[in-house]
């Protein structure tokens, strides 16, 4: 369920926020790298560390991925409301 239809950069999401990837502002090489990491259009992800001046760590599926600030500025996402079970699982994995 979407909180609203606002599309923001991944760098703008606070800790614990989940979102769905909408688009990329980067070039072809950057998009290809994101796809190889599992970050594709339509994929949900959650912020598990950061954001900070050096970047953000996101949970995508079963993987945690550290992304620099330059990259997070170029990933466009739509914030979503995660179910309580999903949010709890993300926070437990982040604490581990």
CATH number, domain containing residue 42: 2.30.30.90
The string of pLDDT tens digits covering residues 51-78 is: 888 889 999 999 999 999 999 999 999 9
In the prediction, which pLDDT does 90 show?
56
Count of domains in the chain?
1
Domain around 63: 8-95
- Would residue 3 count as lying in a domain? no
- Would residue 32 count as lying in a domain? yes
Q: Which residues pair with 67 in a beta bridge?
A: 56
Phi/psi at 45 (nearest 5 deg)?
A: -145, 160
- Omega of the bond prior to 46 within 30 degrees of 0, cis? no
pTM check: above 0.75: yes
> What 8-state DSSP symbol labels residue 2?
B
| CA separation for the pair 62, 93 (Å, rounded) | 9
């Amino acid at each position: 369920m979407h909180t609203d239809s606002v599309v923001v950069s991944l760098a703008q999401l606070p800790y614990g926020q989940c979102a769905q990837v909408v688009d990329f502002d980067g070039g072809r090489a950057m998009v290809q790298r994101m796809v190889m990491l599992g970050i594709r259009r339509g994929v949900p992800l959650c912020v598990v560390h950061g954001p900070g001046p050096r970047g953000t760590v996101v949970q995508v599926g079963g993987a945690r991925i550290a992304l620099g600030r330059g990259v997070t500025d170029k990933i466009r996402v739509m914030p979503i409301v995660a179910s309580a079970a999903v949010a709890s699982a993300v926070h437990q994995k982040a604490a581990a």
